[in-house]
Structure 1
Amino acid sequence: MPTTVEVDVTSRSNPIRCGTNHGVTDRLTPARASLMGLAVGDALGEALDTTGLDLPPAPWHWTDDTEMACSVVHVLATRGHLDAAALADSFVARYDEARNYGPGVDAMIREVSRRGVSLARLATETFGGDGSWGTGAAMRVAPLGAWYHDDPELAAREAVASAEVTHTHPEGVAGAVATAVAASLAAAGATAADLLDEVLHRTPTGKVYDGLRDAADLADASAGEAAATLGDGARRSAPDTVPLALWVAAQHLDDYAAAVRAAAPVADDVDTVCAIVGGIVAGRLGESAIPAQWRQACEPLPAWIRHHP
């Protein structure tokens, strides 16, 4: 049976630290590979959305998907766990208006600077207090799943804490949980046949869950057929985006280029879908699985994450 939306998040007041023999280096290697896969997918997807070319000319510039995912990895590497307050601080400190942030997060970060209130508090006030169910929490979370490659349950709990910094609607949270669990399982070597079923087992019930259930029944579909059934990201919502991204990743777990190439033509929100897919698959295969030409074409990650940690 699926979990309910009341995921245990006691880690926010009493942080859960790595409880296995995996050290920071063991966790950071797949997390950084996932981050690079996310960045390349994001940047290529953004370039494709602009040019429509099969392989756009370099350089490819990444968006807020990557900027915020860098903060996720930074907090994990420096704290050893997901510290929600530190993540919020990093989001605000690293904000770059040129990165095409979604309007909700963009407005909240600007409001933090103007009013001096916390980002998490503003997140609870959006959409009349319902919170956002957009893709922001899901698009940045794959490296967290790769970090917890030995513990998908912990990946799910920490994904909740990471999501609620900006997205408090249950569907926005569920999108982050599903993506983090998929990345955790993929990095641990899960098979395509098992991946979506295991993600379903840990995803809160709701529209994201329903989409993933439909995705699990589309093993023999084409990417176009899957997008027609699951959604292509046009609504910029977690239910409209995460099921397709996880379906594509599950179909191409062992081929990064094939995964991104499958996602790009059928996605409306190309950079977000490709970022999620790229983060899941690269966390499994390692950075070397990303075509060298693509890595070279992608804008480098920001210096603060390349050199620290």
Structure 2
Amino acid sequence: MDGRHRDGASIYLVLTRHGSIDQDALAESFAERHDFDRGYGPSTGRLLRLIREGGDWRTLAREPFDGTGSWGNGAAMRVAPLGAWFADDPDEAARQAALSAEVTHPHPEAMAGAVAVAVAASIAPAKPPPGRFIDEILRHVPDGTVREGIAEARRLLTIADPSTASAVLGNGRQVAAHDTVPFALWAAARHLGDFKRAFWTTAAAGGDIDTTCAIVGGIIGTAPPDWLPHCEPLPSWALGQGSP
């Protein structure tokens, strides 16, 4: 479980305790359970350390990019459990996803990426046709580079080759929401209901594979039974069994 997977567990914990995203509680959980060895980026690692030392996340999170905050893909990577929590309620999933992203990634593009993934995870259990799946996501994503990329992913649904799709949409190599989320949604849309095909299609594109596969896997949902023994379980603290 890398840092962003661990943050997904914090989202789950906050939802179980509050029923919605309490931003202060989420920031506290992120900071308290920050583990440097889990592969956090340096900016996020610094942010969580300063929050843990008493800093205000509302100020600290907006320091990068001249006061607009990070537009990285971390908020999108960790948000799928939130979308699943609000299954069949994409409007609420979108609203809560924006709140969850703002704690560490308040840039509009990062928030748009988180909204898109949460909506996707919310509606994926119904297995809508690929085009309708993307259209519903677009209905919730504000104008910007992420939305333009998702619209392009919609146009590329007839393309089967992940390398071709990622050449247009990106594969997370830039570690930015707009370079990550559109391709992940393309892969998920083409293989809703087929975790293995979705996973290997995503991995075949290269780039930031742990992030793109985590997003796609989170959207698709339950992994095949023969894969589950190889997955790291939720930490005990996320299940209400104490601190790490």
Same structural fold, with TM-score higher than 0.5 when normalized by the shorter chain = yes
Q: Residues 1-309 of structure 1: matches in 2 within 5 Å?
A: 62-114=1-53, 116-221=54-159, 222-282=161-221, 287=222, 290-308=223-241
Structure 2 residue ranges without an equivalent (≥5): none
- C-alpha distance in structure 2 between counterparts of 1:269 and 1:280, whole Å: 17
Distance 1:186 1:100, change over 3 A: same
* Paired amino acid for 2:101: A
Q: Are the counterparts in 1 of residues 28 and 51 from structure 2 also a CA contact under 8 Å?
A: no
* Paired amino acid for 2:121: A
* Paired amino acid for 2:116: A
- C-alpha distance in structure 2 between counterparts of 1:186 and 1:298, whole Å: 21
Q: Are the counterparts in 2 of residues 88 and 120 from structure 1 also a CA contact under 8 Å?
A: no
* Paired amino acid for 2:171: D
Structure 1 residue ranges without an equivalent (≥5): 1-61
Q: Are the counterparts in 1 of residues 83 and 122 from structure 2 also a CA contact under 8 Å?
A: yes
Structure 2 residue matching 1:202: 3-state secondary structure: coil
Give the 4+ runs in structure 1 shifted more than 6 A. Answer: none
Q: TM-score, normalised by structure 1?
A: 0.75
- C-alpha distance in structure 1 between counterparts of 2:125 and 2:230, whole Å: 25
Q: Percent identity?
A: 47
- C-alpha distance in structure 2 between counterparts of 1:162 and 1:112, whole Å: 16
Structure of greater relative contact order (alpha carbons < 8 Å, 6+ residues apart): 1
- C-alpha distance in structure 1 between counterparts of 2:14 and 2:94, whole Å: 17
1:174-216 CA distance string (max 9 Å, x none): 1001111111111344332311111111101111001001000
- C-alpha distance in structure 1 between counterparts of 2:63 and 2:42, whole Å: 15
- C-alpha distance in structure 1 between counterparts of 2:168 and 2:90, whole Å: 27
Equivalenced residue count is: 241
Structure 1 residue matching 2:180: 3-state secondary structure: helix
Structure 2 residue matching 1:299: 3-state secondary structure: coil
Q: TM-score, normalised by structure 2?
A: 0.94
* Paired amino acid for 1:149: A
